[in-house]
A and B are shown apart, each in its own frame.
Chain A
Amino acid sequence: MTDDLTQLTIKDAQRLLRLGSISAADLVTAHVERIERLDRHVKAYLRFTPELWEKQAEEADRRIRQGEAGPLTGIPLAVKDVLCVRGVETTAGSQILRGFKPPYTGTAVGRLFDAGAVMLGVTNCDEFAMGSSTENSSYFATRNPWDLERVPGGSSGGSAAAVAAGEAIVALGTDTGGSIRQPAALCGVVGMKPTYGRVSRYGLIAFASSLDQIGPFARCVDDAAITLSLMSGLDPLDSTSSDRPGLEVLNNYDRGVKGMRLGVPREYYDVDGIEPGVKAAIDAALFILRNAGAEIVDVSLPHTDYGLAAYYIIAPAECSSNLARFDGVRYGLSEVDAPNITEEYMRTRRKGFGTEVRRRVMLGTYALSSGYYDAYYLKAQKVRTLIKRDFDAAFKECDAIVSATSPTVAFPIGSKTQDPLSMYLCDVLTLGGNLAGLPGISVPCGTSDGLPVGLQVLAPQWGENVALRVARAYEEASDIKAEVASVV
Chain B
Amino acid sequence: MSDWEVVIGMEVHVQPTTKSKMFCGCGIAPLNAPPNTYTCEVCLGMPGVLPVINKAAVEACLKTALALNCEIPRHTKFDRKNYMYPDLPKGYQISQYDLPMSINGFLEVGGHKVRIRRVHLEEDTGKLIHAGDKLHKAWESYVDLNRAGVPLMEIVSEPDLRSADEARDYAMELRTLLRTVGASEADMEKGQLRAEPNISIRRRGAIEFGVKTELKNINSFRALHRAILYEVNRQQQVLESGDAVVQETRGWSEQEERTFPQRSKEFAEDYRYFPEPDLPPLELDRAWIEELRRGLPDLPSVRRARLLNDLPAGQVAVIAADRELADLYESAVAKGAPTVATANWIVNEVAPTGKLPSPENLAELMKLLQGGAITRDSGREVYLESVETGRTPAEIVAEHGYRQVSDESELRVIAEAVIDANPKAAADYRAGKKQAMQALMADLRKRVPHANPKVANELLLKLLA
Binding site for B on A (CB under 8 A): 82-84, 90, 92, 97, 100, 102-104, 106, 201-206, 208-210, 236-240, 317-318, 320-321, 323-327, 329-331, 341, 345, 365, 368-370, 373, 377
Contact = CB atoms under 8 A, between A and B. Distances in A.
Interface residues of B, number: 30
A206 B270 contact: no
Contacts of B46: 84, 102-104, 330-331
Nearest to A211: B277
Nearest to B45: A325
Given A104-B41, A330-B45, A239 B51 contact: yes
A248 B89 CA distance: 38
A167 B82 CA distance: 42
A329 B143 CA distance: 9
Given A106-B48, A202-B48, A329-B86, A239 B274 contact: no
B272 A370 contact: yes
A348 to B, nearest CB: 11
Nearest to B271: A370
Contacts of A370: 270, 272
Given A104-B41, A318-B277, 18 more contacts: A102-B46, A104-B46, A202-B49, A204-B48, A206-B47, A239-B278, A240-B279, A321-B272, A324-B82, A324-B90, A325-B89, A327-B91, A329-B86, A330-B46, A341-B85, A341-B86, A368-B273, A373-B272
Contact of B90 (A100, A103, A203, A325): A325
Interface in B136-155: 141, 143
From B48, B51, B141, B279, residue with most partner A Cβ within 10 Å: B48
Interface-central residue, A205, A239, A323, A341, by most chain B CB under 10 Å: A239
30 contacts: A82-B48, A83-B48, A84-B46, A102-B48, A103-B41, A103-B46, A202-B48, A202-B49, A202-B50, A203-B48, A203-B49, A204-B48, A206-B48, A209-B278, A238-B278, A239-B50, A239-B51, A240-B278, A317-B274, A320-B272, A321-B80, A321-B82, A321-B272, A325-B89, A325-B90, A325-B91, A327-B84, A329-B89, A330-B143, A368-B82
Contacts of B86: 327, 329, 341
B91 A321 contact: yes
Contacts of A345: 84
A205 B49 CA distance: 8
Contacts of A321: 80, 82, 91-92, 272, 274
B362 to A, nearest CB: 46
Contacts of B41: 102-104
A369 B273 CA distance: 8
B191 to A, nearest CB: 23
A102 B45 CA distance: 12
A395 to B, nearest CB: 23
B272 A365 contact: yes
B341 interface: no
Given A237-B52, A321-B274, A377-B274, A100 B82 contact: no
Main secondary structure of the interface of A (DSSP, over half): loop
Interface string B260-291: 00000000001011100111100000000000
- Count chain A CB atoms within 10 A of each CB in B41, B143, B272 and give the residue with the most: B272
Interface string B73-96: 000000010101110011110000
A90 B277 contact: no
A325 B91 CA distance: 5
A84 B280 contact: no
Contacts of B89: 325, 329-330
Given A104-B41, A321-B82, A324-B84, A209 B47 contact: no
Contacts of B177: none
A103 B89 CA distance: 16
Nearest to B279: A239
Interface in B91-127: 91-92
B427 interface: no
A201 B50 contact: yes
A97 B53 contact: no
B interface, over-half SS = loop
B92 A324 contact: yes
A239 B276 CA distance: 11
B11 to A, nearest CB: 21
A284 to B, nearest CB: 40
Contacts of B49: 202-203
A237 B50 contact: yes
Given A103-B46, A325-B90, A327-B84, A209 B277 contact: yes
CB-CB nearest 4 A-B residue pairs: A324-B91, A368-B272, A209-B277, A210-B277
A86 B46 CA distance: 12
Contacts of B91: 321, 323-325, 327
Contacts of B397: none
Nearest to A202: B50
Interface string B35-57: 00000010011111111110000
A95 B299 CA distance: 57
B272 A330 contact: no
A84 B50 contact: no
Nearest to B270: A370
Contacts of B47: 84, 90, 92, 97, 100, 102, 205-206, 325-326, 331
A231 to B, nearest CB: 15
A82 B50 CA distance: 15
A422 B328 CA distance: 75
A369 B82 CA distance: 10
A377 to B, nearest CB: 6
A210 to B, nearest CB: 4
Contact of A205 (B48, B277, B278): B48
Contacts of A240: 50, 277-280
Contacts of B92: 321, 324
Contact of B274 (A106, A330, A341, A368): A368
A231 B48 CA distance: 16
A80 B172 CA distance: 55
A37 B91 CA distance: 43
Contacts of A203: 48-49
Contacts of B141: 341
Contacts of B270: 369-370
B53 to A, nearest CB: 7
| A100, A103, A326, A368: most-surrounded residue (chain B CB, <10 A) | A368
B222 to A, nearest CB: 34
A232 to B, nearest CB: 17
Nearest to A342: B84
A192 to B, nearest CB: 21
Contacts of B80: 321
Which of A238, A329, A368, A369 has the most chain B CB atoms closer than 10 A to its own CB?
A329
B45 to A, nearest CB: 5
B48 A238 contact: no
Contacts of A317: 274
A325 B82 CA distance: 10
A470 B277 CA distance: 31
B317 to A, nearest CB: 45
Contacts of B45: 325, 330
Contacts of A324: 82, 84, 90-92
Nearest to A329: B86
A324 B84 CA distance: 7
A369 B272 contact: yes
